[in-house]
């Protein structure tokens, strides 16, 4: 196994589960030291009320070959984020990769209701979790990251800019949150470029997170049975796929070619050659355009 990120330090903010957990693991598999943060720990759960903990993520990073350091942080609390970055600076003296994957708003969303029927408190809490957390984290972390040229910031969202610009995302608050994350990748790219650093917005395809598997009543071993509930689930991907996308970006000496871009895991797999855990390269964005949007029956042939 190669370790192109040996000696590199990453902060994955929002790494308790799903994409964030596997991004941390795959960075660790490439040799990085990874600070994995989130609100759910063995000391207590976040409002998501799920069993996954940040300590488990850190342990999985270490098992994968990296050094995992789990830190319980609420990224809406500026003092906690400031102290986290001060700790990274004191312990490592550098930060090479920042991944803003903080979310945790699923229980708050009211789907497919117009803005006048949306609960405002839950809606604004959604925006704070999705947007404010990312800005607060970048505010404190980027001064450490720009000390060395070559730093990478990854804003993880849902949907590419191309997709989100023309698609209603089923709730005014969810829609605004996901468009905002894409824009944060663009704006930070502009601000980081003079320092020789790169920012991108990255989306997975249909992600088989822990919560998604539960929603479909399947496990990772039986995930294809989920097609009985939605036939297009045949094109879903594991969180490791987007994790490998981040690891590939971080290891690319020419990563600046992506500065300010909105990219997806399937598209990056075509460039870098990484695969999902089953050895395939699911390309959800192309499948959506050519099959789902075209009203064709589900068939993943040629899209993996």
What single DSSP character describes residue 10? E
Of 209, 207, 270, 274, the closest CA to residue 246 belongs to 274
**Residue spans of alpha helices (H) in the chain:** 18-29, 54-64, 78-92, 120-127, 133-145, 161-164, 172-192, 210-216, 239-251, 265-272, 284-287
pTM (two decimals): 0.96
152: part of which helix (H) or strand (E)? Answer: strand 152-156
How many whole angstroms separate alpha carbon 277 and alpha carbon 249?
Answer: 18
- The SS3 of residue 156 is strand
User: HSE on the CB side for 286, CA within 13 Å?
Assistant: 15
Q: Is 9 helix (H, G, I), strand (E, B) or coil?
A: strand
Q: Which of 174, 287, 288, 303 is catalytic?
A: 174
What per-residue confidence (pLDDT) applies to 49?
85
Q: Residue 26, CB half-sphere, CA atoms under 13 Å: how many?
A: 25
pLDDT digits (tens, 9 = 90+) for 211-232: 999 999 999 999 999 999 999 9
Q: Following DSSP, what letter does each residue of 15-66 receive, concatenated? A: -SSHHHHHHHHHHHHTT-EEEEEES-BTTB--TT--S--HHHHHHHHHHHTS
SS3 11: strand
Q: How many other CB atoms are found less than 10 A from the CB of residue 304?
A: 17
Question: Active-site residue 287, yes or no?
Answer: no
CA-closest candidate to residue 32, choices 54, 58, 55: 58
Positions in the chain short of pLDDT 70 = 1
Identify the pLDDT of residue 1. Answer: 58
Question: b vs e for 250-279, b when ≥16 Cβ sit within 10 Å of the residue's Cβ?
Answer: bbbeebbebbbbbbbbbbbbeeeebebeee
Please give the structure tokens belonging to residue 39.
């609100």
Asked if 4 and 30 count as a contact pair (C-beta separation under 8 A), the reply is yes
| Encoded tokens for 34 | 């990874």
CATH of domain 9-220+239-283: 3.40.50.720
pLDDT per residue over 11-58, tens digit each?
999 999 999 999 999 999 999 999 999 999 999 998 888 989 999 999
Residue 102: name the closest of 19, 191, 169, 30 by CA. 19
pLDDT, position 2: 80
* Radius of gyration, CA atoms only, the chain: 18
């Amino acid at each position: 196994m190669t370790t192109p990120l040996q000696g590199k330090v990453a902060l994955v903010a929002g790494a308790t589960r799903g994409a964030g957990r596997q991004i941390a693991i795959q960075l660790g598999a490439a040799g990085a030291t990874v600070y994995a943060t989130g609100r759910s720990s063995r000391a207590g759960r976040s409002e998501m009320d799920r069993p996954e903990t940040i300590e488990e993520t850190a342990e999985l990073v270490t098992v994968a070959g990296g050094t995992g350091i789990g830190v319980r942080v609420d990224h809406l609390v500026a003092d906690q984020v400031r102290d986290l970055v001060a700790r990274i600076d004191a312990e490592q003296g550098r930060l090479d990769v920042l991944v803003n994957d903080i979310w945790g708003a699923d229980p708050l969303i009211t789907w497919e209701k117009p803005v006048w029927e949306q609960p405002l408190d839950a809606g604004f809490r959604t925006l704070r979790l999705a947007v404010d957390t990312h800005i607060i984290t970048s505010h404190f972390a980027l001064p450490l990251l720009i000390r060395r040229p070559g730093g990478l910031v990854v804003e993880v969202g849902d949907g590419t800019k191309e997709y989100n610009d023309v698609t209603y995302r089923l709730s005014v608050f969810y829609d605004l949150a996901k468009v905002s994350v894409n824009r944060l990748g663009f704006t930070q790219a502009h601000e980081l470029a003079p320092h020789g650093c790169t920012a991108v917005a990255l989306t997975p395809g249909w992600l088989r997170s822990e919560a998604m598997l539960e929603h479909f009543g399947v496990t990772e071993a039986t995930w294809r049975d989920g097609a009985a509930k939605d036939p297009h689930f045949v094109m879903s991907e594991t969180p490791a796929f987007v994790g490998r996308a981040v690891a590939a970006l971080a290891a690319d000496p020419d990563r600046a070619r992506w500065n300010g871009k909105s990219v997806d895991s399937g598209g990056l797999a075509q460039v870098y050659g990484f695969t999902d855990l089953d050895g395939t390269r699911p390309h959800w964005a192309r499948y959506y355009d050519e099959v789902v949007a075209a009203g064709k029956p589900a068939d993943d042939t040629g899209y993996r």
